[in-house]
A = this chain, B = another copy of it.
Amino acid sequence: MIRKLIDGIVKKDSPIVVGLDPTLALIPEHIKKNSFAEFGETFEAVGDAIWRYNRKLIDAVADLVPAVKPQIAMYEQFGIPGLEAYIKTTRYAEEKGLLVIGDAKRGDIGSTSAAYASAHLGMVKIGSSEAEAFGTDFLTVNPYLGTDGVKPFVDACNEFKKGIFVLVKTSNPSSGEFQDRLIDGRPLYEHVAEKVIEWGASSMDGDYSNVGAVVGATYPEVGERLRKLMPKAYILVPGYGAQGGKGSDLKVFFNSDGLGAIINSSRGIIAAYKQEKYASYGEAGFADAARAAVLDMKKDIKDSI
């Protein structure tokens, strides 16, 4: 699966993933008004509004980026209708030729991780049939429980030709609280990175592994170190834009082949219309504003790497 992502990155000349993280505050008023008029102030209305919002965003960026990354929490908070919008969004993105990185950060003991892996990456057996629950192409995974909590996801990568990104160093301010602590003289995130290499060795797909890593753009010096430590792991880089990561921080996340990283931006793109820079698009032009923001981000990255 990582090869498919690389193909998309190369073809579209764009190591960018658009984070589809809808909140009610970000969705334009005219969309909410329509949905509330039809469904009242209900989860159904929000699910409808999210879906309309995402569809336009996907239409606007599908030719520019290889993938989208819906953050499932933003859907889960709106209950069943929210999760239905998540599924509709992923299906529509796939129709439009985009890969989908489900940002769910799941991770549990072995048998439970196996259930999550089936849910998000695989097929689930029902009697003599099989069905797909969420069926995304990649999933983010939390490593705190160790190998037996991650292995079922790696197995799913091999069985269903999918990929995962394991949290190594996250983009948030307090990520260092545990992740930076020194163990035998090296930060915990490096120990996790070593496991990512080990897990990834069993799921190679061309030059890179289906087992990638999450490393925040907000810690470029850590990114530089981890880039060298895990040469065959693709790095999913959140934290660009709204969280404070800048284009000039990104160079270190790439290998000398120009590959090895995919940069996420969520609010910076899907709510670009709220920024002064893109205000001329107006709320009605939110999708065009998103497109413009992707093009600017592409240039920002190009100029930096």
Contacts and interface: CB of A to CB of B under 8 A. Distances in A.
A23 B115 CA distance: 9
A24 B125 CA distance: 9
Interface residues of A, number: 74
A79 B146 contact: no
B183 A131 contact: no
A76 B181 contact: no
A256 interface: no
A149 interface: yes
A124 B78 contact: yes
Contacts of A110: 172
Interface stretch (A6-14, A40-48, A54-62, A291-299): A40-48
A265 B127 CA distance: 27
A105 interface: yes
A265 to B, nearest CB: 14
B188 A124 contact: no
Contacts of A171: 109
18 contacts: A24-B125, A24-B126, A41-B128, A46-B126, A73-B106, A76-B116, A77-B119, A80-B80, A80-B87, A109-B172, A142-B142, A144-B167, A145-B175, A146-B177, A146-B179, A148-B172, A148-B173, A148-B174
